[in-house]
Chains A and B, each alone.
Chain A
Amino acid sequence: MHKIEIDAEIDLLSENRRLAAENRKFLREQGIVAVNIMGAIGSGKTLFIEKTVEALRDIRIGVILGDVICRADYERVAAHDVVAEPVNTGKECHLDAHLIHHRIRKFEDVDLLLIENVGNLICPVDFDLGEDFRVVMVSVTEGDDVVEKHPEIFRLADVIIINKVALAEFVEADVDKMEKDARNLNPEARIIRMDLKKDIGFEEWIEFLRGVLNVSGNSG
């Protein structure tokens, strides 16, 4: 018996990157626009998806719903007559490229794939799924310091949605501060103030999304 030392130099993130690249290739070949929707528990992700599905009835939409153990969000979205698939991570609070890879062929006929990540502002950040762009949804009820406390997820977002703005005065949240923090971390991102229950800002999102779908030739 003797000891040996091996210079391994193995990149442990390469497997997720490889699978994300495969997902991306499949989505591109099929002409599917994929959106990774992230945000804390209760920020409004599922209602946002439900309303998006209803607003784009002329487009074929698929939805993947990530959760740790529950099917409630899946049942809510599936009721809207879309191709939906629940993904239960079992123990992890983020989706990864491997979990998507298993299920992606189910969506080959859709134009738009909405992926609702597990409710969390930290863990999903470094797991590319193969998406075209990322939406991070945050609500004023989480506290107006939530953006500055989670810089990575906002720094890497393409669209930042500040939801529940109609409640700001009741929870004493400074929406301007939240937007300024987001803008400071990510000068390039599109920032939308929204209230899904009061129909504030939602049209702006749908216009943006239609723009993306038109560029990809998926106008329905």
Chain B
Amino acid sequence: MHEMSYAEAILENLLNLAEKNNAREIKKAHLVIGELLLINPEQLEFCFRAISRETIAENCTLEIEFVKPEIRCVKCGKEFDAPAGVCECGGFVSVNGGKEMILKSVIMEVD
């Protein structure tokens, strides 16, 4: 399970952002996650709940938006759903993206 590492990165960045903005509470975090990172959202949520307890992010909702990689043959342009290596035309199948982990936006409660 690699979700704990990512949950820690999310929490650390949220708390830094809250401090910069003098926030009292972090309400919602919008995350953009590439599908190829193979993140299980339930496990990410579970880890985040566990480590955010007794912080100002303990009631923060994680809104996860998954983004697909672009997988296509460099020769014939055929698109694939998963990394495929070599296309039936013999061309190399390139993989772009799908490895993002972006904290897009955050909603916080301030005075």
Partner-B contacts on A (CB < 8 A): 1-13, 15, 91-94, 96, 122-123, 125-127, 151-152, 155, 183-187
Contacts and interface: CB of A to CB of B under 8 A. Distances in A.
A5 B29 CA distance: 10
Contacts of B102: 9-12
B72 to A, nearest CB: 15
Interface in B57-111: 82-86, 92, 95, 99-111
A10 B13 contact: yes
Chain A contact residues, majority secondary structure: mixed
Contacts of B1: 92-93, 123
A124 to B, nearest CB: 8
A187 B109 contact: no
Interface residues of B, number: 36
A12 B109 contact: no
Chain B contact residues, majority secondary structure: mixed
Q: Which of A11, A91, A96 has the most CB of B within 10 A?
A: A11
A8 B106 contact: yes
A8 B2 contact: no
A126 B4 CA distance: 14
A152 B83 contact: yes
B39 to A, nearest CB: 10
- In order of increasing CB-CB distance, the 10 nearest A-B pairs are A184-B85, A123-B2, A185-B85, A10-B103, A12-B101, A12-B9, A151-B83, A8-B103, A6-B106, A13-B101
B2 A93 contact: yes
